[in-house]
Amino acid sequence: MNLPKIVLALGYTGLIPFFIGPVWLSFSPETAPPWLDRAWLNWAALIGAFMAGTFWGFALPAVQGAAGLLGIFIAVALVALTGIAITLEFPYALAGLALVFMLLLLADFWRERTLDTIGGYFRLRSTLTAGVLIAITWRYLMLGAAG
């Protein structure tokens, strides 16, 4: 089974908010509202926790086995790390959320090889994660100019 087109469309649409902050601060920093970075970080944390929840969903059918149980613990740890990252001050929250998304990708890599999967899901997840990490890196590199 391949992913429905709506899943692809919503996945890529979810990347748009990740790029709003860096684009705005790159092209019109003087018009950026003071709450922009906090709203941007909240979006990243929301998506990070959501993706950890999808990991839970993949692990749940296999929870009776060791791999499924490990998947549940991985999902809980990723949600907890997301919660910790969002409580940090701005530059550290960037690094914390980047770590969460890298760990989500590693977890998806494990899940792809261990638990049942859906055709095309790992490709979508890795592409979207690359986009998120590009946006976070872009914002991090701007710290000297706008942070």
Q: Check residue 6 and give its pLDDT.
A: 96
Nearest 5°: phi and psi at 16?
-55, -50
Q: Check residue 68 and give its pLDDT.
A: 87
How much is the mean pLDDT over the chain? 92
Q: Check residue 1 and give its pLDDT.
A: 61
Q: Which residue's entry shows tokens 């003087």?
A: 30
Q: Check residue 33 and give its pLDDT.
A: 96
User: What confidence tier does 146 reach under pLDDT thresholds 50, 70, 90?
Assistant: very low
Residue 21 covered by a domain = no
Residue 93 covered by a domain = yes
Interatomic CA distance for residues 10 and 26, integer angstroms: 25
- What type of residue is 145? A
Which tens digit of pLDDT belongs to each residue from 14-73? Answer: 999 999 999 999 999 999 999 999 999 999 999 999 999 988 888 888 888 898 899 899
Provide the domain limits for residue 54. 39-146
How many domains would you assign to the chain? Answer: 1
Interatomic CA distance for residues 135 and 15, integer angstroms: 9
pTM of the predicted structure, to 2 decimals: 0.90
Q: Check residue 145 and give its pLDDT.
A: 57
Q: Is the pLDDT of residue 147 over 60?
A: no
Residue 46 covered by a domain = yes
108 vs 2, residue with greater confidence: 108
For the residues 101-112, what does the mean pLDDT come to? 93
Residue 28 covered by a domain = no
For the residues 93-119, what does the mean pLDDT come to? 91
Residue 33 covered by a domain = no
Q: Check residue 58 and give its pLDDT.
A: 83
Residue 1 covered by a domain = no
What count of Cα atoms within 13 Å lies in the side-chain half-sphere of residue 15? 17
Residue 11 covered by a domain = no
Q: Is the pLDDT of residue 77 over 90?
A: yes
Nearest 5°: phi and psi at 28?
-155, 60
Q: Check residue 5 and give its pLDDT.
A: 94
Residue 10 covered by a domain = no
